[in-house]
Amino acid sequence: MEIALFIAAAAQLVIAVLNLFLVRIMKWEEPVAQMPQLVRDVFHVHSCFITITLVIFGVVTMRFAGELAAGTNDLGRWLVCGIGLFWLIRWVMQFFFYSSSHWKGKRAETAVHIVLILTYGFFAGVYLLAAFGNEGYS
């Protein structure tokens, strides 16, 4: 469990770094520039706070992976439960919020969609297992 938490933490830090370049990676410069100023500002602030959140998740998990894996601390169990629910909700949104028109019939976009489903599912599973099913793991 400790190794799985460490892998999840490292992956979240990678996603946090990638999130800093999301507009460029996704080639959204023009659509973002065309947003009304308030919408553009909210977009950038939310992106910044998602990045900060992922860094916090990653750093705290790396620093306390052993304790979180042991599941002996109520605060740790609540923390991994919260992070697990965060990723479970994100996993569900990947299925039900985004229109399939974004990837349907597009090979690269479909591959990204599948990678995101697997990644978010892994994060949710690892954290929720650490919260609720880690008796006997260390």
What dihedral do alpha carbons 109, 25, 99, 128 form, nearest 10°? Answer: 90
Quote the pLDDT of residue 50: 96
pLDDT class of 136 with cuts at 50, 70, 90: very low
Computed over every residue of the chain, the mean pLDDT equals 92
- pLDDT over 70, % of the chain: 96
Quote the pLDDT of residue 134: 60
Report domain extents, the chain. Answer: 2-132
More confident: 8 or 111: 8
Quote the pLDDT of residue 98: 85
Quote the pLDDT of residue 138: 43
Q: What is the pLDDT of residues 61-110, one digit of tens each?
A: 999 999 999 988 899 999 999 999 999 999 999 988 988 888 888 888 88
Quote the pLDDT of residue 108: 87
